[in-house]
Structure 1
Amino acid sequence: MDLNHIATLFDQRRERHTLPQALYTEPYSFDFDMAAVFAESWLMVGLECELPKTGSYVSMMVGKWPVVITRDKEGTIRAFHNSCRHRGSMICAVGNGTSPKLVCPYHRWTYDLDGSLFAAGRMDSDFDKAEHGLKPVAIECISGTIFICLSETPPPIEDFREKLMQYAAPHNLKDAKLAYESVLVENANWKLVMENGRECYHCSTGHPELAKTFPVGMSKHFDSGHDARVIAFEETMDALGLPQTPVEGHYWQIARFALNEGCVSISGDGQHLSKKLMCEANEGDIGSMRWAVDPHCFVHCTADHVFMFSAMPVGPNETHVTGKWYVHKDAVEGVDYDVEKLIDLWTKTNLEDKALAENNQVGVNSLGYTPGPYSQEAEMLAQRFTDYYCDKSRAYIEAHGKQ
């Protein structure tokens, strides 16, 4: 990976413009992004409810790197590199499961849920099991959410932790359950997928059904200007003690915003999708509490359900978009909610975004592609994402010795 060449691409990037072509298209840019961004960032796994009991685990891929998250006998949630300390095989296949031990399928090396090596057959007499435990991954559990970082020196998370605890508290995320999960393969660079997900400039025409409930005309942190209805909503949230003022750090944003008039959820008809609410304040009319974490995700929490979007690079022009829908743990499928209705709107929206991102990629591949300007009214969060990406990348280049 030629950091000097990559550095010249960032030097070429014009302020308030999209990126040079090679950063969206070339294989070396994928390798760089994984090392400079995804290996050095806090990444959202999901919610703690996906690990409901001792022995529960979640196995996932961060690009080409396998990671496993477990709940041990003491109830502690831990994360490890999913690579056997014998000859490196992946121990747990991608997905969710439950097991009293983690057993490598190759030679049956067996690990406890805290990562320590429990058994390794036919090894020499001087073999020390204590030196061959799974390698840990940094983990933070915040108000029912799970974040991991593959770096040995993760970026600061204190400010984000404090604010997310404050904003997420009314939503009782520890009382959730995973109702549905989907993975969508998009033939587009992950940055194009994320730029698309960070703006609603395209939403009024690109997402006609989403636009029925979602305030697609707002700017930046869903700012509404001097809309009297929205101001009244903000005053009501303040009176209820539900934080709503937009807050942000270098790699994150959090805000609560009003939905369209008459709407209490992000759904096809604007009404609740689950009768059992996650937050009962104001009879479930609390707008959406949205947080976004660069480089890869956003989450919307309405009173009745939670939706998580995660974009994970797989190759230079392939991104896997994971959608997760959560409802209250006591909500009964077929009684309190219908899965098809629950996932309908965001599934349609994700498929529409897939088509837009893939078409964007084809155009960016053109010999005639030139980086274009962001709308300062409608694309501030997309620009913010690209600025974050450039800042993160330049810091990596500086730290790793551009010559």
Structure 2
Amino acid sequence: MHKGPIMDLQRISALFEQRREGHTLPQALYTQAESFDFDMAAIFGQSWLMAGMECELPKAGSYISMMVGKWPVVITRDKEGTIRAFHNSCRHRGSMICALGSGTTPKLVCPYHRWTYDLDGSLFAAGRMDSSFDKSEHGLKPVAIECISGTIFICLSDTPPPIDDFRAKLTEYAAPHNLKDAKLAYESVLVENANWKLVMENGRECYHCSTGHPELSKTFPVGMSKHFDSGHDERVVAFEAQMDALGLPQTPVEGHYWQIARFALNEGCVSISGDGQHLSKKLMCDANGGDIGSMRWAVDPHCFVHCTADHAFMFSAMPVGPNETHVTGKWYVHKDAVEGVDYDVEKLIALWTVTNLEDKALAENNQLGVNSLGYTPGPYSQEAEMLAQRFTDYYCDKARDYIATHGKG
């Protein structure tokens, strides 16, 4: 659906031709406004993006209003309980209908001229229009949506990429975590003055974790490679066998734009937390007494999620400008967990908050260095940065496909 700004695809294509295999990107792809416009059109306009969880729309009339770059989107739960997504743009003169955030409303009402839409996107009322006006032709423009095991994914393209394989695997791996029975306990937005790809490269590797994240390193296996590969670590191999016996999928699986795996935390740890212990007494998965490691999935171009027995954490990096990225963190617990009794919000968010702040400093420093006249694309570590390289390879593949399709004529 996205048409986007006019870009010189030939010039952008030349940048991708410069990229050496196994290396980071040419400087202009991290710095230039034209590259940002390209990324929005070619990547974010053509990909499945995780918007959140179904539990954020708990009843009919619930809505989420969010931005994908500069594009407003609204997600609703209609009177029948169906979750839908629309471009948040009035069919009258284009005003944004729902302010950013979430809430509950019986109708979607444009603040400009009060055009009113039902939760299914159909136009309910439009005052002072002539007798030939047909309301049925002016409903909100739909956005492709997939709800998978309690998660919500949207895609702005008229021809979304295939999702069947991801849907099947995420359904299998997420089932034990009962995400439909979760609730959003806290949400934060962090502004990072760095290109979104630098933010994501940082989030796809733990080469920096042992020194960059001392708090996370207490519970998180920062020394493992790729999909948290265990090698011949007897404790981790035993964990994998135990998960298999419990019927909890753990084998790493992946597609072109996604990865899923369950992995063991550090010895004695049952959650990704400051002390390695559960952050909520009310567990989302009580198998093995809540000692089930972390089930992680990652979806390019923008997110990852960690699900432990007690809570789930979602990380989403959304581009705003060439050197500005908004990182959203969402923490979920069991819907019946009582704040102040079963969990403490400050303790719940502490570890990922400090980790995100440390990553913000690393990404912003990375951007300053990439801006240098002396910047030259460098090689990824084949032992420690395989997922970062995988992300960059995905980005280049997706970009080249877009150029091949749209660069003719």
Normalised-by-shorter TM-score class: over 0.9
Inter-partner Cα distance in structure 2 for 1:96 and 1:178 = 12
Q: How far 1:401 moved relative to its partner?
A: 2.1
1:7 equivalenced with 2:13 (yes/no): yes
Question: 1:127-206 alignment to 2 at 5 Å?
Answer: 127-206=133-212
Does structure 2 retain, via aligned residues, the 8 Å contact 1:71–1:113? yes
What amino acid is the match of 2:95? S
Does structure 2 retain, via aligned residues, the 8 Å contact 1:17–1:383? yes
1:352 corresponding residue in structure 2: 358
1:334 equivalenced with 2:340 (yes/no): yes
What amino acid is the match of 1:267? S
2:401 corresponding residue in structure 1: 395
**CA offsets, 1:102-131, max 9 Å, x none?**
000000000000000000000011000000
Inter-partner Cα distance in structure 1 for 2:232 and 2:212 = 26
Q: How far 1:224 moved relative to its partner?
A: 1.5
Does structure 1 retain, via aligned residues, the 8 Å contact 2:185–2:331? yes
1:40 is paired with a residue whose SS is coil
Question: 1:248-397 alignment to 2 at 5 Å?
Answer: 248-397=254-403
1:208 equivalenced with 2:214 (yes/no): yes
What amino acid is the match of 2:401? A
- TM-score scaled by structure 2? 0.98
Inter-partner Cα distance in structure 1 for 2:134 and 2:286 = 54
Inter-partner Cα distance in structure 1 for 2:170 and 2:313 = 16
What amino acid is the match of 2:215? E
Inter-partner Cα distance in structure 1 for 2:407 and 2:384 = 37
4+ runs deviating over 3 angstroms:
none
1:37 is paired with a residue whose SS is helix
Inter-partner Cα distance in structure 2 for 1:211 and 1:49 = 30
RMSD: 0.4
2:3 corresponding residue in structure 1: none
1:242 aligns with one of 226, 240, 248: 248
1:121 equivalenced with 2:127 (yes/no): yes
1:160 is paired with a residue whose SS is helix
1:298 is paired with a residue whose SS is strand
2:238 corresponding residue in structure 1: 232
What amino acid is the match of 1:240? L
What amino acid is the match of 1:328? H
Question: 1:28-107 alignment to 2 at 5 Å?
Answer: 28-107=34-113
What amino acid is the match of 2:242? T
2:45 is paired with a residue whose SS is helix
Does structure 2 retain, via aligned residues, the 8 Å contact 1:67–1:79? yes
Q: Calculate percent identity across the aligned residue pairs.
A: 90
Inter-partner Cα distance in structure 2 for 1:225 and 1:231 = 8
**CA offsets, 1:271-292, max 9 Å, x none?**
0000000000000000000000
2:4 corresponding residue in structure 1: none
2:24 aligns with one of 18, 31, 41: 18
Inter-partner Cα distance in structure 2 for 1:96 and 1:119 = 23
Inter-partner Cα distance in structure 2 for 1:67 and 1:39 = 12
Does structure 1 retain, via aligned residues, the 8 Å contact 2:48–2:153? yes
Q: How far 1:402 moved relative to its partner?
A: 4.6
Gaps of 5+ in 1: none
Does structure 1 retain, via aligned residues, the 8 Å contact 2:10–2:407? no
Does structure 2 retain, via aligned residues, the 8 Å contact 1:41–1:154? yes
Inter-partner Cα distance in structure 2 for 1:286 and 1:149 = 32
Does structure 1 retain, via aligned residues, the 8 Å contact 2:219–2:266? yes
What amino acid is the match of 1:219? S
Inter-partner Cα distance in structure 1 for 2:58 and 2:184 = 10
Inter-partner Cα distance in structure 2 for 1:192 and 1:52 = 35
What amino acid is the match of 2:376? T
Inter-partner Cα distance in structure 2 for 1:264 and 1:95 = 33
1:222 corresponding residue in structure 2: 228
- TM-score scaled by structure 1? 1.00
What amino acid is the match of 2:135? K
